[in-house]
């Protein structure tokens, strides 16, 4: 698995961004996946997960504003981010759990068996 994120950038509060994640070593195997973010001086935080059963989980801080989805035909994971706030500013990482079919916000952020990409920066400021 090698994950490559794109779509980050700088936006004003209230703006939107869509992050994308591609597995450049796709073998056709499916994984439970998610998005993780890390702000300056902060630990990794699970933002959203989409497990291998199709169950979706969001952090309370992004519920109603972020949407995780996957194009199975193209094997691309997305994170649609609307109504962005300055506190959403962080490096965002795509993550794939190599072992678990059911994941949590905590496991996608911290588990050893999770592969994460290099990240894409999101900055929200006026």
For 49-86, write each residue's pLDDT tens digit: 999 999 999 999 999 999 999 998 888 999 999 999 99
Phi-psi category of residue 99: left, alpha or beta, with phi > 0 → left and psi -120 to 50 → alpha = alpha
Taking 80 as the threshold, does the pLDDT of residue 123 lie above it? yes
Taking 90 as the threshold, does the pLDDT of residue 27 lie above it? no
Residue 28 has what pLDDT? 76
List for the chain the helix, strand, coil content (%; round to 5).
5, 45, 45
Given the structure tokens 């500013």, which residue do they identify? 89
Mean pLDDT in residue range 36-40? 96
Backbone φ and ψ of 51, nearest 5°: -85, 180
Given the structure tokens 């911290």, which residue do they identify? 110
Joined tokens for residue 78: 């997305």
Q: How many CB atoms lie within 10 A of CB 122?
A: 22
């Amino acid at each position: 698995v090698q994950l490559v994120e794109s779509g980050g950038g700088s936006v004003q509060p209230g703006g939107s961004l869509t992050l994308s994640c591609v597995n450049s070593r796709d073998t056709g195997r499916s994984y439970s996946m998610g998005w993780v973010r890390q702000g300056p001086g902060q630990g990794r935080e699970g933002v959203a997960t989409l497990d291998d059963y199709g169950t979706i989980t969001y952090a309370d801080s992004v519920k109603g504003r972020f949407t995780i989805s996957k194009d199975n035909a193209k094997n691309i994971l997305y994170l649609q981010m609307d109504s962005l706030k300055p506190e959403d500013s962080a490096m965002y990482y795509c993550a794939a759990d190599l072992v678990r079919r059911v994941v949590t916000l905590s496991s996608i952020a911290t588990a050893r068996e999770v592969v994460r990409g290099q990240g894409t920066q999101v900055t929200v400021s006026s």
